[in-house]
Amino acid sequence: MMCWLAWMASVVPPQNDGSRGYLGFDRNDYPGDAAMADLRKEFAFTGYWLTPAPGGKTNSWTARRQVLEAQGYGFVLLARGRAAKEIRSAEGAQRNGVADARGAARSAKAEGFASGAIIFLDIEDG
């Protein structure tokens, strides 16, 4: 998914109404403050993980918001969704979904994002 947002920008037809597009990206692992400063030359926004990224046990994006905001980034908030193989029953899916959503919302609040911010669920099954 790292280049998905940049790819979308390349396939969406240009607007002739004076509006402009903005490139963004996401990475599972935080690339470091210096790399993010370099990437800012090309990208206007970044995916920002509120949970460990798919396959991860920890979240290397935690506590990076202020640095990125100072660099001028916009954010797409991301939370990991459970893979299909992890879902055993409808009841379990609902219970886990509610718990996961609450956890992502807590992380968003702790990172200083506004109440009601949109969080995108990233489900990777392949």
Tell me the pLDDT of the chain (126 aa) as tens digits. 444 444 444 444 555 666 678 999 999 999 999 999 999 999 999 999 999 999 899 999 999 999 999 999 999 999 999 888 888 898 889 999 999 999 999 999 999 999 999 999 998 875
Residue 74 CB: number of other CB atoms within 10 A? 13
Residue in the structure block whose two tokens are 């379990």? 92
Joined tokens for residue 88: 């055993």
The C-alpha atoms of residue 28 and residue 110 are separated, in whole angstroms, by 20
* 8 A C-beta contact, residue 100 and residue 79: yes
pLDDT reported for residue 86: 84
Q: Domains plus CATH for the chain?
A: 4-9+21-122 (3.20.20.80)
pLDDT reported for residue 3: 43
The C-alpha atoms of residue 81 and residue 53 are separated, in whole angstroms, by 9
Residue 63's region, left for phi above 0, alpha for psi from -120 to 50, else beta, is: left
Looking at residue 44, what DSSP letter applies?
Answer: S
Residues composing the chain: 126
The C-alpha atoms of residue 93 and residue 17 are separated, in whole angstroms, by 44
pLDDT reported for residue 4: 45
pLDDT reported for residue 88: 87
Joined tokens for residue 98: 């509610």
pLDDT reported for residue 66: 97
pLDDT reported for residue 35: 98
pTM for this model (two decimals): 0.81
